[in-house]
Structure 1
Amino acid sequence: MKLLLHPTYFPSIITFAAIAQNEVVWEVCDNFQKQTYRNRCYICTDQGRHMLNIPIKHVGTDQGRQLYNDVIVDNTSHWKKIHWRTLETAYRTSPYFEFYEDELRPLFESSDEKLLDFNLKTIQTIGDCLNLKISNTRSESYEITPKDLVDRRQLVNAKGATTFHQEKYNQVFEERHGFIGDLSILDLLFNEGPNSLQYIKNQPISFL
């Protein structure tokens, strides 16, 4: 099955399960929409579920729209330094943070300008960590009803997202907050390490 997906910021576990189990075409011709996983992801800190949000520069047209491919991140806020510090604080005691930090830290030291390019880079980096081949195929035009593709672009929605009943795994703050499901793939990676690939390949996603 070939899926049409949005590239998002360190995608959710359900999205990476879809990536691992299917061929993927990346939607790159759509308009940017606020309050989606395009510029946010969720991790778990000592305070519970926590959002990492990428600030962007709003330079839309008179109608207030801009293409996802044109969205520029606002690096004046030093958000990369803040995000990396938050990840260090949240996952330093996890089993595999130190195992992957040298591969992930350069993402937060780069000077990327386009949100889309940066998101694709985060996905490729996670793929490298998991030894998972990541598709480079991109859409060539925007289609409301794609042909020859299974449309799963709804996974980009942060509100009203698809309910995902996933298998539990050990989490750093599970004793304090209980198991928190469908966080960013980062949470699974830092807690399960090399086992993460088998985990996402085994998650039932037939409901998609």
Structure 2
Amino acid sequence: MEKGAVFPLFYLPNVEFFNTLRSYSENGIFLENKEHYPKQTFRNRTVIAGPNGKLELSVPIKKGRLQHTPYKDIRISNDDDWQRIHWLSLGTSYRSSAYFEFYEDDFAPFYQQKFNFLFDYNLQLLEVILKSIKMKVDYKFTEEYHPQYNDKEDFRSSLNIRKPSAYQTKKYHQVFEDRNPYLNNICILDLLFNQGPQASKFF
């Protein structure tokens, strides 16, 4: 098997995700394509800096026996207008940031068009983010599921929403820093909207 690192595919990943991705970009990046969907992870959740502090956004998924469903087959539930809520939350949190309007047209379609599958949605978002932060990453998809790897670094479980991380971003200006403590290692859009083309210098 090829060497490299295996990554999960998250919804608007945090800064640590991209720092780790960059660290392995020359060794081979594999996006996990065959796993069964694990619940309560960043795969359908992200954290942004709202007016009142941390705000978790979650993409709703259709109910069912999720633990036996391949991630790539997980369907987004569009019964409720979650896209409107997420976009309003992003606007409320970042419209006064230095670069929100600069990137607005790149991300708005993800909250206007309907998407069926979570994996496809997250992948298209990832590609736009990588372009925005000017990070060139060549990746492949895993071809079969392995519970563990002996020849690759495995980040499928370590980048976990419920596990405290020791990773520290370089401090940068956040919109509501006058009223809230600095929020470390949250959604990459927080860094992008506040620092724009300089974002990659902060991780």
TM-score by length of 2: 0.92
Matched, 1:123 2:123: no
Shift of 1:199: 2.2
The residue that corresponds to 1:16 in the other structure is 18
Tell me if structure 2 keeps the 8 A contact 1:5–1:155.
no
Give runs of ≥4 in structure 1 deviating > 4 Å: none
Alignment of 1:49-198 (within 5 A): 49-60=54-65, 64-198=67-201
Shift of 1:69: 1.1
Deviations 1:27-62 (A, max 9, x none): 11111111100000000111100001000002327x
CA RMSD, aligned part only?
1.5
Identity over aligned residues, as a percent?
Answer: 32
Shift of 1:175: 1.5
Letter in 1 for 2:7: L
Letter in 1 for 2:8: H
Tell me if structure 2 keeps the 8 A contact 1:42–1:183.
yes
Partner secondary structure for residue 150 of structure 1: strand
Of 34, 42, 46, the match for 2:47: 42
Deviations 1:180-202 (A, max 9, x none): 101000100011110112222xx
Shift of 1:7: 0.6
Tell me if structure 1 keeps the 8 A contact 2:99–2:194.
yes
The residue that corresponds to 1:32 in the other structure is 37
Partner secondary structure for residue 4 of structure 1: strand
Partner secondary structure for residue 43 of structure 2: coil
Shift of 1:2: 2.5
Tell me if structure 2 keeps the 8 A contact 1:45–1:90.
yes
Tell me if structure 1 keeps the 8 A contact 2:172–2:202.
no
Gaps of 5+ in 1: 201-208
Tell me if structure 2 keeps the 8 A contact 1:70–1:114.
yes
Number of residues paired by the alignment?
198
TM-score by length of 1: 0.90
